[in-house]
């Protein structure tokens, strides 16, 4: 149980450093005193309460699931706090002192980055963690979709039809995003920044009670911004379509996690997890056991299933519960179907297991857009072998290999539809 890491929150408890990111709150203070070893686990919830958000998603959000016109929902708060207490008690109960595990957390990409190292000397672990944190901050600054940095500079130049000299910090990222977009048949489309901004997902907080203008959506979709419009020669990037605007929110977190894992490996660290708001890549093992990862239920504040991973594996989930607002009971979330210009409306969540995190991240978004009818074909095109897609009717679609990897939590009411094998 010690190495159980639900995506919903980090129940991997260690006694490494924790930091206070969210200012003072009496509740948190009391809670952390009473359940000190649970503090790591519940940090995300308090962060969520503070409504911290950023360009790459807000992180875990069980306490406040909606950016709806009823933003505080005080009526639900006690129930949600109760869930937090339960999860944290579970965490307390399952934790033991494990001097082999180093644990650290910091903010980047609008979410909580959670680093777990196994079997590393404390001084070396601290040093590694500081490096990783610095790397994340630099990447976040460079790749931000709307705060001034290398990516916004590139976007401005592309919009002005200039040939841009790409900053070395973004060139490899852009090339990989373009490649994955082509493989996904454009369903993962990193150049629909205008649409995403129009929907308000470049705003913080999210727009309450306003929908984008339907004609403007139509016009943007008709311009068909696509990575096919981009030409890259050496470090020069140009676009033949003025509607192209990079937004790497569906992919940059994964790419950053890959860089962090590379950094750890360079430092000789071979047993670790880098977890960004629930999306993670693990290398090695937790001592003599595999890592165990929980996958959250898209509609309940609960863990739906878990998987064990050994060696080098990424687990990424895209969900319609991550960033959304509601108007008249309709959920408008942050994963946009580039073909319609509207949020993809048949999927609740997609979990992808793959070795590298960048591909897993892009694929989770692409398969979310593909939905229950098309996910299998797109997964094949992208070379993904393990997928679970939960549609908005609650049906769980997965390929047989995924079914044999995953273990549903007891008592879950599940309706599984197995697909043909993926490979």
Binding residues for ligand ADP (CB under 6 A): 56-57, 188-190, 192, 196, 201, 247, 249-250, 253, 279, 318, 322-323, 334-336, 338, 361, 364-365, 369
For residue 294, the partner it binds in Mg ion, ligand ADP, none, with Cβ less than 5 to 8 A by kind, is none
Q: Minimum CB separation from ligand ADP for residue 385, in Å?
A: 19
Nearer to Mg ion, 220 or 364 (CB): 364
The alpha carbon of residue 82 and the mean position of all alpha carbons in its chain are separated, in whole angstroms, by 25
Q: Contact residues for Mg ion (CB under 5 A)?
A: 250, 318, 361, 364-365
Return d(Cα 398, Cα 234) in angstroms, integer. 40
The partner in contact with residue 271, picked from ligand ADP, Mg ion, none with C-beta cut-offs of 5 to 8 angstroms by kind, is none
Residue closer to ligand ADP by CB (options 128, 364) is 364
Q: Which is nearer to ligand ADP, 149 or 249 (CB)?
A: 249
Q: 249 or 371, CB closer to ligand ADP?
A: 249
336 binds, among ligand ADP, Mg ion, none (CB under 5 to 8 A by kind): ligand ADP
Name which of ligand ADP, Mg ion, none residue 334 binds, using a CB cut-off of 5 to 8 Å depending on partner kind.
Answer: ligand ADP
Helix axes 252-266, 171-183, angle to 10 degrees: 120
Smallest gap, in angstroms, from Cβ of residue 79 to ligand ADP? 24
Helix (H) or strand (E) holding 92: helix 77-94
Residue spans of beta strands (DSSP E) within 7-82: none
Distance CA 343, CA 247 (A): 16
- Rounded to 10 degrees, what is the CA torsion of 22, 295, 409, 32? -10
d(Cα 114, Cα 51) in Å, to the nearest integer? 18
**What is the C-alpha separation between 14 and 35, in angstroms, rounded?**
13
Q: Is the dihedral of CA 395, 401, 404, 408 positive or negative?
A: negative
- The whole-angstrom separation of Cα 168 and Cα 143 is 11
Minimum gap (Å) between residue 406 Cβ and ligand ADP: 19
Least distance between ligand ADP and beta carbon 247 (Å): 5
Q: How far is the CB of 178 from ligand ADP (least distance, A)?
A: 12
189, interface contact from Mg ion, ligand ADP, none, CB < 5-8 Å by kind: ligand ADP
- For the bound state, the minimum distance from the C-beta of residue 412 to ligand ADP, rounded and expressed in Å, comes to 22
Measure Cα distances from 291 to 101, 231, 247, 285 in Å: 12, 41, 32, 6
> 6-15: string of b/e by CB count within 10 Å (b at 16+)?
bbbbbbbbbb
Assess contact for 369 and 344: CB atoms under 8 A.
yes
For residues 368 and 283, give the distance between their C-alpha atoms in angstroms, rounded to a whole number. Answer: 26
Q: In angstroms, what is the minimal distance from the CB of 385 to Mg ion?
A: 17
User: What is the nearest approach in angstroms of ligand ADP to the Cβ of residue 113?
Assistant: 13
Q: How far apart are CB 251 and ligand ADP at their closest, in Å?
A: 7
What is the longest distance spanned by two Cα atoms in the chain?
A: 60
Nearer Cβ to Mg ion (117/344): 344
Q: How far is the CB of 169 from ligand ADP (least distance, A)?
A: 19
Tell me the DSSP string of 212-247.
Answer: --HHHHHHHHHT---GGGEEEETTEEEES-TT-B--
By beta carbon distance, the residue nearest Mg ion is 365
Are 192 and 264 in contact by the 8 Å Cβ rule? The answer is: no
Backbone angles phi, psi at 280, to 5 degrees: -150, 160
Residue (13 or 344) nearer to ligand ADP, CB:
344
Which lies closer to ligand ADP via its Cβ, residue 88 or residue 349?
Answer: 349
Q: Which is nearer to ligand ADP, 13 or 250 (CB)?
A: 250
- Tell me which of ligand ADP, Mg ion, none is bound by residue 239, counting a contact when its beta carbon lies within the kind-specific cut-off of 5 to 8 angstroms: none
Give the residue with the Cβ less far from ligand ADP, 55 or 284. 55
Place of tokens 């090339």: 175
- Binding partner at 272 among ligand ADP, Mg ion, none, C-beta below 5 to 8 Å by kind: none
196 binds, among Mg ion, ligand ADP, none (CB under 5 to 8 A by kind): ligand ADP
Using the minimum distance from each CB to Mg ion, give the nearer residue, 365 or 399: 365
């Amino acid at each position: 149980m010690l190495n159980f890491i639900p995506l919903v929150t980090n129940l991997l408890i260690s006694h490494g450093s924790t930091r206070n990111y969210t200012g003072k709150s009496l509740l948190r203070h009391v809670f952390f005193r009473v359940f000190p070893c649970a503090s790591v686990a519940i940090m995300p919830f308090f962060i969520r309460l503070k409504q911290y958000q950023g360009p790459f998603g807000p992180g875990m959000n069980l306490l406040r699931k909606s950016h709806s016109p009823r933003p505080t929902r005080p009526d639900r708060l006690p129930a949600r706090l109760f869930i937090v207490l339960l999860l944290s008690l579970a965490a307390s109960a399952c934790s033991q002192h494990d001097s082999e595990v180093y644990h650290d957390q910091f903010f980047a990409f609008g979410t909580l980055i959670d680093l777990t190292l196994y079997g590393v000397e404390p001084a070396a672990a601290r040093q590694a963690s500081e490096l990783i944190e610095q790397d994340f901050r630099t990447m976040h600054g460079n790749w931000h979709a709307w705060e001034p940095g290398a990516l916004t500079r590139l976007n401005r130049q592309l919009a002005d039809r200039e040939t841009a000299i790409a900053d070395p910090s973004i060139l490899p990222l852009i090339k990989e995003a373009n490649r994955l977009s082509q493989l996904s048949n454009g369903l993962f489309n990193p150049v629909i920044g205008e649409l995403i901004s129009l929907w308000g997902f470049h705003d913080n907080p999210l727009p309450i009670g306003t929908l984008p203008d339907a004609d403007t959506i139509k016009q943007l979709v008709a311009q068909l911004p696509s990575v096919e419009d981009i030409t890259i020669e050496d470090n020069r990037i140009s676009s033949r379509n003025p509607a192209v605007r990079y937004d790497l929110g569906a992919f940059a977190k994964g790419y950053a996690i890959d860089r962090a894992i590379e950094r750890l490996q360079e430092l000789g660290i071979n047993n670790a997890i880098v977890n960004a708001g629930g999306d993670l890549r693990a290398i090695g093992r937790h001592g003599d056991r595999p890592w165990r990862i929980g996958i959250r239920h898209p509609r309940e504040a609960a863990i739906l299933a878990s998987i064990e991973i050994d060696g080098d594996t990424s687990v990424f989930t895209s969900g319609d519960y991550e960033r959304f607002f509601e108007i008249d009971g309709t959920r408008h979330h942050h994963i946009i179907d580039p073909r319609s210009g509207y949020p993809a409306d048949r999927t609740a969540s997609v979990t992808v297991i793959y070795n590298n995190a960048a591909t897993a991240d892009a694929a989770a978004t692409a398969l979310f857009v593909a939905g229950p009818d098309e996910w299998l074909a797109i997964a094949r095109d992208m070379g993904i072998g393990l997928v679970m897609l939960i549609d908005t009717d609650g049906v769980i679609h997965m390929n047989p290999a995924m079914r044999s990897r995953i273990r549903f939590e007891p008592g879950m009411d599940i309706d599984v539809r197995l697909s043909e094998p993926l490979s």
